[in-house]
Each structure stands twice: as structure tokens, then as C-alpha cells.
Structure 1
Amino acid sequence: MKDKIIDHAITLFAKKGYYGTTLGDIANQVNLKKASIYHHFRSKDEIFTESAYECINYLRDFIVNNMRENTYSNSALYQFLFKFIFDVEDRYIRLYVQLAFIPQQFSEEIYNKIQSIHKIVDEEIVKFYQQNQYSINVEEFHNMIMMFLESWYLRCTFIERFGDLEENKNKFKDEVYSIINQMTNE
């Protein structure tokens, strides 16, 4: 039941944020009475913390697993960015963006975990740069890849304003080709 509660809490926190999600909301999603939640968790804060950790671990594992045995070619970069768009569950991206607005009591611990993801991404971007010929310097390359990913985070988070998620995924697929082709002068 704890895993089920966290799974549903991730979706709720991703959609409504920390402040907009109540214990009653979480209990309703798993067909429990609000008081029964306390049998599994001490508080909403504990549920939120575990949900945030699950989100961060999910994203870290996605990145690490997709970089295993990587050739760091342009083709591999396309593949990674495509997988990030098409294979990462949007609720995790939405919750990840929501983590920027968390209460102060969570921030240091959660931000330290987020920094571990950023370090992995930064190292991988440098490896791609080192293995290929680009028309820009490493800092510009890094900034372009990060702007692309961050733009995708925001699209997923505010998808109701941007239309259909699948339609946006296809548009971003075209943008991946365009960005990498511009950097390689192809």
C-alpha cells in the first residue's frame, strides 16, 4: 500500500504541487480514509519527501541507464533526447519542475539530490562534445542541450496550455534534429 500511495501522490503533487495536494486527495486516490494514511506515513511531508526522492531516482536511473555503453556519437545524442521526450513519464517531469517551489524545510536535502542528477547530465554532455565536431564551444553546446531539456520540462508541466502532449512530442522531435544539425553544420 505504501508504494501505491507514493505512486498516486507523485501524480497529485506533479499536478497540484505541494500546497495544492491534501492528505484527503491522496487518500481518495487509493480508496482509503484520510486517517488510514497515518497507518503508512506520519505526515504529508513524509509522503512528499518520498515522492520527491522517487522522482529524482527515476530521472537519475533513466539517464544512467540510457547512457550505458554509449558511443557518444551524434546519433546517440539524438537517441537520448528522443528517449527523454518519448519515454520519460511526464508526471515525473512535472513533479521535478514542482520541486522548484517546495517549502523551505525540504529544499536543502532535495536540492542536494537534484544536484547529483545535474552532475551526471553535465558530465554526459561534455562527453558528447568531446567525441564530436561542433561549430560552437563546449559551454554553448551545454547551454543548448540544457535549454532544450528545460524547454521540454516546461512544456510537459504546462501541457494544458500548449495542447496535446503527443503532438508536442512530435514537434520536439523535429526540434532535436534542427538543434543538432545546426551545431554540426549539417
Structure 2
Amino acid sequence: MGRKRISREKIINAFLFCAFDKSAGATSLQDIADFLEIKKASLYNHFGSKDEMYDATLVYCSDYLNFVNFIPEDINRDGKIYEEDAYDGFRKIIKRHIQLYENEPLFQIFTFVHSEKYFNKNAAEIAENELIKIERGIAELVKGFAEKEKLRRLPHDELRRFSEWFAATLAQQTDLYIMRKKEIVRQNPESGAGSLFSLPTDAYALEDIFSQTDAYLKTIAP
């Protein structure tokens, strides 16, 4: 193997790719070195052990997810989302949210965090922070549409309960949706890394999520 310049970030991304295919626990340092086409010993210039790499990967995932907004700025610039019907507005936000996680590197980050949350408290905390972000986004949407009299104004406690209820269901459905797509991607290795994520959004699964969204919104219709 020739000399290649690598960085901690490249190694972390290689770990995410390998863990996507084999799981974090089953991924070895040799797997990562082979993916990067470097010698295994070169990894120790950046990380003292796989455990150190694992911890750094979780920090990377957390930092990356901090920049992901549930309500994208381009969709709601100057509050334009609230000019739409509440049902259409929620559907637009949710569709963008799910499609965002279908793309690299969020696809690998999502599957890494949500696979590891059952075994690592830091991964569980990252997943919980994602959920809180969704809860706050839903509360913001409900209040915005209520100001336009397109949804009912909710007292603080009722808004909190509704947002938690809605967010938990959406997070669960997103988790199932992405995990199903992960299996489709894994079953099509011949597609090549560049085209694996060009698979279309599952319209039927998305429509099921929309149906649940509509049912939630009907409970707070004006």
C-alpha cells in the first residue's frame, strides 16, 4: 500500500461505513484500515485503541446532528410554512426530515447512533437529544399554525404532552423506516457506494407516516 494522507475525520467516517455494514462491535481496526487502503498501524497515529475511536465517533455524530434542524430554514424562511394548510405544512416538514436521513453521512450516523443506543449511554443521550429537538420543533409548528387559527391553541402542559406524544411516534416510525432502508441498501452491495443512496423514498411507508400525522393533527383541529 502506498502512503496516503488520512485524518481523524476520515477514519471516523470509515468506521461509520464499516459499522453500517457489520455493526460497530463486529468492525475491526483491520476492516477500517482495509477500507481506507492503509496499514493498520497507521490508525494508531490518530487513535490509541478502537475504544478511543468509538468514543470519538460518538462525539462526531453528536456534533454533526447538532447542526440538523427539524424545521429546515429554507422551508420556513420568514414563517412561510404557516401560510399553508397545517396538514400540508406538517407533511412537508416530516418528508424533508426523513429524506434528510436517507442521505450520506446522516444515514450512517443515524444507524450508528440508533444501533448503539441500547449499549452505550452516550449514544442513548444523543438519540434522546434528537427526540427533544423533534418535540421542540413540533411545539413550534403547533404554535405557529395556532396563531394563524389553523390549529387549536393549546395550554402549555397540553402542548408539551402533545409534542412528546407526536415526537415519540414520529421518531419510532423514522427509526423503522430508516432501518428497513438500511437492509435494502445492505442487500444491494453491487450498487456501489455512490449509488446506494439513490434508492427512491418509500412512498407507501411515507404515506403511512402521513396518515398517523393527520390523525394526530385532527385531535387539535380548530
TM-score by length of 1: 0.77
Matches within 5 A, 1:34-183: 34-63=40-69, 66=72, 69=77, 71=79, 73=82, 74=86, 75-88=88-101, 89=103, 90-103=107-120, 107=121, 109-132=122-145, 133=151, 138=159, 139-159=161-181, 160=183, 166=199, 169-183=202-216
Please list the CA deviations of residues 97-121 of structure 1 after superposition, one character each: whole Å capped at 9, or x if unmatched.
1121335xxx2x4444444433332
Q: Distance in 1 between matches of 2:128 and 2:170?
A: 18
* Worse-matched range after superposition: 63-72 or 17-26: 63-72
1:167 to partner: Cα distance: 5.4
Deviates more, 1:78-87 or 1:25-34: 78-87
Sort the Cα spacing of 1:114 and 1:145 in 2 relative to 1 into closer, same or farther, 3 A: closer
Measured after TM superposition, the shift of residue 43 of structure 1 is: 1.1
Alignment partners' CA distance in 1, 2:70 and 2:21: 26
- The aligned amino acid for 2:213 is I
1:68-97 per-position Cα deviation (integer Å, ceiling 9, x unaligned): 747364344323211121122322221121
Residues 93, 157 of structure 1: 8 Å contact kept: no
Q: Normalized per residue, which structure has more helix?
A: 1
How many residues end up aligned between the 2 structures? 182
C-alpha RMSD of matched pairs (Å)? 3.3
Task: Give the TM-score of the pair, scaled to structure 2.
Answer: 0.66
Structure 2 unmatched ranges of 5 or more: 1-5, 146-150, 189-196
Give 1 or 2 for the bigger CA radius of gyration.
2
Q: Kindly tell me: are residues 173 and 64 of structure 1, through their superposed partners in 2, closer, same or farther at Cα, counting changes over 3 Å?
A: closer
1:16-58 deviation line (CA, Å, top 9, x unaligned): 3331111111111101121111112111112112222222222
Q: Does 1:18 align with 2:24?
A: yes
Structure scoring higher RCO (CA < 8 A, sep ≥ 6) equals 1
Partner Cα separation in structure 1 for residue 91 and residue 62 of structure 2:
23
Does structure 1 retain, via aligned residues, the 8 Å contact 2:24–2:112?
no
- SS for the counterpart of 1:19 is coil
Pair 1:122–1:100, CA change in 2 (3 A): same
- Deviation per CA, 1:147-168: give whole Å up to 9, x if none: 1222221332243279898456
- Equivalent positions of 1:1-16 (< 5 A) are 1-2=6-7, 3-16=9-22
Q: Aligned partners of 1:113, 1:101: CA distance in 2, in Å?
A: 12
Instruction: Tell me how far apart the structure 2 counterparts of residues 13 and 122 of structure 1 sit (CA, whole Å).
Output: 29
What is the percentage of aligned positions where both structures have the same residue?
Answer: 15
Distance in 2, Cα, partners of 1:35 & 1:112: 32
Deviates more, 1:176-185 or 1:76-85: 176-185
